[in-house]
């Protein structure tokens, strides 16, 4: 189920990024800007950012991570 959700969210973000009229959600817009600043792709940057957030939450409160 998580994989299907990620696919749906990724397709939505890709369509919004390609649209000249509509905008992006704030996290994707930030990721695009930071990815260009660090000279990497959007996917690689988001993977690193999500890993950083996951490790931060892991140390902060492990109870927030559930099945």
Residues of the chain with pLDDT > 90: what percent? 18
E strand or H helix that includes residue 54? helix 42-60
Tokens 């990024």 identify what position?
Answer: 17
Q: How far, CA to CA in Å, does 36 sit from each of 7, 32, 43, 46?
A: 23, 6, 12, 12
pTM for this model (two decimals): 0.64
pLDDT of residue 12: 86
Q: pLDDT per residue over 20-36, tens digit each?
A: 888 888 888 888 899 99
């Amino acid at each position: 189920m998580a994989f299907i959700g990620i696919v749906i969210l990724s397709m939505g973000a890709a369509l919004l990024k390609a649209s000249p009229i509509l905008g992006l959600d704030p996290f994707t817009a930030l990721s695009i800007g930071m990815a260009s600043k660090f000279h990497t792709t959007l996917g690689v940057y988001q993977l690193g950012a999500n890993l950083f957030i996951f490790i931060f939450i892991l140390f902060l409160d492990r109870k927030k991570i559930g099945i």
